[in-house]
Amino acid sequence: MARIVQKFGGTSVGDMERIRRVAARVQREVTAGNEVAVVLSAMAGTTDQLVAWTREASAGADPREFDLVVSTGEQITIGLLAIVLQDMGVAARSWTSWQLPIRTDGAHTKARIENIDTAALEADLERGRVAIVPGFQGISPEGRIATLGRGGSDTSAVALAAALNADRCDIFTDVDGVYTCDPRIVAKARKLDRITYEEMLESASQGARVLQTRAVEMGMKHHVRIQVLSSFEDVPGTLVVDEDEIVEQEIISGIAYSRDEAKITVARVADKPGVAAAIFGPLADAAINVDMIVQNVSEDGDETDITFTVPEGDHQRAIDAIERSRDAIGYERLDHDANVVKVSVIGVGMRSHAGVAQRMFRTLAEKGINIQVISTSEIKVSVLIAEEYTELALRALHSAYGLDAE
């Protein structure tokens, strides 16, 4: 007998037919003798509608009331699934976040889970009853509903699996696993049987939207085995596990990309101590995350250009912040470009193999693709290129690293 947490996203519970399909999957695990806890998102589109209504009510709504409204979608789906399972003869009950409780910090709309009291829920599981829990939410220190931010249901599921010491956390989505690249662009992309937490975390942070980054971080911290599966196809998925669970580790596990990038160049500033702080300080004050950074010093060493990237949604805010600090920075020109894409080569095998970056640069050069910015980590090399070359770059790199399916 195993203890399993199953999480189903919005498209998986989009209507009653799909909720019944979810119920059938849950019933299958119960019939196999397993203890099952289920975490649900709201029906697809529901949270967007709830957000729209709160903004229509007030552009500056109290975050606590905002969270109360947008959290209601999950309460609908957990109740409906419990009813369907009971009608099928499966013992089940729904638990709201305050009934367990799931405790969070007080950062409404972007709260973080601090702990989950599972005593009552575990007693139910041991009696053979399915426990159904809402994703995306918890209870703040002042006893108010607090939401975790968009995509927070993945985090809820992994946190619950950790609290329950579950054998596995199954994340059901509209894809059937983790691929070496986006199969919509690279036809020869292949599904991975297993991927390490570190690789999945890099992939998620570099644009792959299979799993939410915070969920992967939590899985890695608590050693929760995560399986990514399709809600609509009964096929094997991809396991996200510790590196020591993968016997033969590929040098490169995948190619990720992100179109959510904008490049900004602060041109001809004095090359002296404090200039970088003058540029990036205002961005930090505006809560704008800076990713890739490169500095080019002039031949005489007196001036420099500093180029960096920010999320595309923060593009204009970043420009405004820099322009407001023009006197303090002392730059001559501000250039910016949102028609860029970040492409990343990822793999834990890079730690022990040389030449990975060189192969990336040579492959792009052979295709006539100019690299604008480069950044690296222990298991990742990222480059910024013109957006028009996205598909060409992904396909060429996928082949260059031997990732194409046979």
Note every long-range contact of 364-373, with CB atoms under 8 Å and residues 24 or more positions apart, other chains counting. Answer: 364/393, 364/396, 364/397, 366/396, 367/392, 367/393, 367/396, 369/393, 372/263, 372/307, 372/340, 373/263, 373/292, 373/293, 373/294, 373/307, 373/308, 373/309
Percent pLDDT > 70 in the chain is: 97
At residue 23, the pLDDT reads 97
At residue 300, the pLDDT reads 64
Measured between alpha carbons, how far is residue 22 from residues 11, 81, 91 in Å? 11, 8, 15
Instruction: State both tokens at 72.
Output: 């209601």
At residue 175, the pLDDT reads 84
At residue 323, the pLDDT reads 92
Range 98-119 average pLDDT: 95
Answer yes or no: are the C-beta atoms of 342 and 391 closer than 8 Å.
no
Highest average pLDDT, of 159-163, 244-248, 275-279, 288-292, comes from 159-163
Query: For the segment 263-297, what is each residue's pLDDT rounded down to a tens digit?
Result: 999 998 888 888 889 999 999 998 899 989 988 87
Using 50, 70 and 90 to split pLDDT, how confident is the model at 299?
low
Beta strands at 226-230 and 238-241: parallel, antiparallel or unpaired: antiparallel
Range 225-252 average pLDDT: 85
Comparing CA positions, the residue from 45, 69, 47 lying closest to residue 58 is 69
Query: For the segment 52-108, what is each residue's pLDDT rounded down to a tens digit?
Result: 999 999 988 999 999 999 999 999 999 999 999 999 999 999 999 999 999 999 999
Query: For the segment 201-227, what is each residue's pLDDT rounded down to a tens digit?
Result: 888 776 667 788 889 999 999 999 999
Instruction: State both tokens at 23.
Output: 């119920």
Q: Show the CA angle centred on residue 215, arms to residues 49 and 168, nearest 5°.
A: 115
At residue 304, the pLDDT reads 86
Comparing CA positions, the residue from 388, 122, 347, 165 lying closest to residue 254 is 347
More confident site: 98 or 150: 98
Percent pLDDT > 90 in the chain is: 73
| Cα separation, 261 vs 61, whole angstroms | 29
| Cα separation, 88 vs 306, whole angstroms | 63
Q: Count other Cβ atoms within 10 Å, centred on residue 70.
A: 24
The residues facing 293 across adjacent strands are 308
Using 50, 70 and 90 to split pLDDT, how confident is the model at 34?
very high
Using 50, 70 and 90 to split pLDDT, how confident is the model at 248?
low
Eight-state DSSP code of residue 234: -
Query: For the segment 347-404, what is each residue's pLDDT rounded down to a tens digit?
Result: 988 887 888 999 999 999 999 999 999 998 889 999 999 999 999 999 999 999 999 8
Q: Show the CA angle centred on residue 311, arms to residues 349 and 403, nearest 5°.
A: 30
Q: Count other Cβ atoms within 10 Å, centred on residue 30.
A: 19
At residue 146, the pLDDT reads 97
Return the SS3 of 350. helix
At residue 208, the pLDDT reads 62
At residue 100, the pLDDT reads 94
